[in-house]
Amino acid sequence: MSEKLIYIKSYGCQMNVYDSNRIKDLFLDKGYKITDDVNKANLTVLNTCHIREKAVEKVYSDIGRIKKIKDTNKDMHLVVAGCVAQAEGNEIKKRSPVVDYVVGPQSYHKLPDMIDELEPPLNSDFLQNEKFKNLIYNSSKISSEFLSIQEGCDKFCSFCVVPYTRGPEFSRPISDIVSEAKKYVSNGVKEIILLGQNVNAYHGATDDGKSKDLAYLINKIAEIDDVKRIRYMTSHPIDMKESLINAHAENLKLMPFLHLPIQSGSDQILKKMNRKHTVDDYLRIVDKIRNVRPDIAMSSDFIVGFPDETDKDFENTMKFIEKVKFVIAYSFTYSSRPGTPAQHKDNVELSVKKARLSALQSLLTQQQVNYNKSFLHKDMEVLFEKKGRYENQFIGRTIYNQSTFINSKEKLLNKILNVKITNSTNYSLECQA
Ligand code: SAM
Ligand code: SF4
């Protein structure tokens, strides 16, 4: 019998990338091989994202495309996994009968049994504990690996689907995380990126049942000799504890980069978003962390055109960005999401949303360009993670998470080197060894 091939497409956030890696591992263990060619796949998995409407539309258009392939490749099974599966499970089956299996983000460990018909073809249970115990953890990359430590969210921001799609907050036990990190570094990985929807709300248990925070976990992982770099994302301002801020001063393996979404620079809008923090709260955190780690690189997320956002609210967001200065940031126009409290209030015109997004992104790009320029001719430490588009080109990351490329005939993959920055473009740096 010929070997079975699995094709996986991941949409959305890093947590989905991590989940897709685990799905790959489950099926590699069953004897499948990975293919990049969906036409040849026996099993196609779409690991979907529900965060904005556009991401969902993309899934349905991909299902349409795969339906045509399935018409000729009768052996293929199609799985919709991830947050769209969780939110729209039954609807997907009704709207697209071509989909064979539907599985949510907290039950995908059951997928092999679903395909062997030992489990029903639709599962949207929240089985976080059981899931993590039944997954397989092999490294997919050579230098830097994502590691999910926390799932779900209890914060219920009024625009966000995550509490409904990923379920309640759940923290994995410390020893499970440490052994997963050890497994990755034993394969050569040098950087561990700890993931969670609210990663700094982490409160996992030790073997004797004591609850510990993210700073404790970071320090435990740093004790592993071969771990050279640690990062974490995504954090929420209300969970930015002193212990974590101090870890940035004390733990040299913890990279000086903080992704801390604020969403808006207007207190009125933050209140309507149910964010539970003010602009001043955020600024106080920035002060504290810059106090202990002056070179920390700040990053954030912004939503423009949230219901009732006025020109004045938006101006405040722009002033806030000018004040903090971000090295990078992600920004979106508000997208009304089913089942969220803000769903029916989408009252800012699309043209206004787009104009605000464009102004905000210009400001953020200018800040990023200025930041990158400030490193010209300086020495930086870079971990080279992958090959570039051109021969002898390698791409890596500085300690501040900037993308950096180099041309070299040496084998630089998975090496940490001190390099000189020779050029800065809008979104990346160029360097020489
Ligand atoms: N937990 C993180 C936090 O507290 O900010 C964010 C997680 S969410 C997966 C990633 C980003 O998507 C958010 O920070 C927000 O900027 C954006 N986002 C979430 N819901 C959105 C919506 N309905 N419309 C536009 N952007 C949205
Ligand atoms: Fe969504 Fe808010 Fe939870 Fe972040 S904190 S995942 S934005 S509900």
Mean pLDDT of the chain: 96
Ligand 1: atom nearest CA of 159 is 23
Predicted local confidence at residue 391, as pLDDT: 93
Single pTM value for the model: 0.96
pLDDT tens digits, one per residue of 274-331: 999 999 999 999 999 999 999 999 999 999 999 999 999 999 999 999 999 999 999 9
- Is the distance from CB of 324 to CB of 283 less than 8 angstroms? yes
Predicted local confidence at residue 180, as pLDDT: 96
- Is the distance from CB of 78 to CB of 115 less than 8 angstroms? no
Pocket test for ligand 2, best of 160, 165, 169 (most atoms within 8 A of CB): 160
Find the DSSP H helices in 13-157. 14-28, 53-72, 82-95, 111-115, 128-134
Q: What number is the average pLDDT over the span 137-152?
A: 90
Distance 331 CA to ligand 1 centre (A): 9
pLDDT tens digits, one per residue of 367-393: 999 999 999 999 999 999 999 999 999
Provide the pLDDT confidence category of residue 142 given band limits of 50, 70 and 90.
confident
Closest C-alpha to 352, from 321, 312, 322, 311? 311
Provide the pLDDT confidence category of residue 2 given band limits of 50, 70 and 90.
confident
Distance 207 CA to ligand 1 centre (A): 33
Provide the pLDDT confidence category of residue 74 given band limits of 50, 70 and 90.
confident
Q: How far apart are CA 30 and CA 68, in angstroms?
A: 27
| 15 has a pLDDT exceeding 80 | yes
- For 342: left if phi > 0, alpha if psi spans -120 to 50, otherwise beta; the answer is alpha
Alpha carbon nearest to ligand 1 atom 12, residue: 51
- Is the distance from CB of 259 to CB of 300 less than 8 angstroms? yes
Predicted local confidence at residue 407, as pLDDT: 95
Q: Does 382 sit in the ligand 2 pocket, CB within 6 Å?
A: no
pLDDT tens digits, one per residue of 88-103: 998 998 999 999 999 9
| 1 has a pLDDT exceeding 80 | no
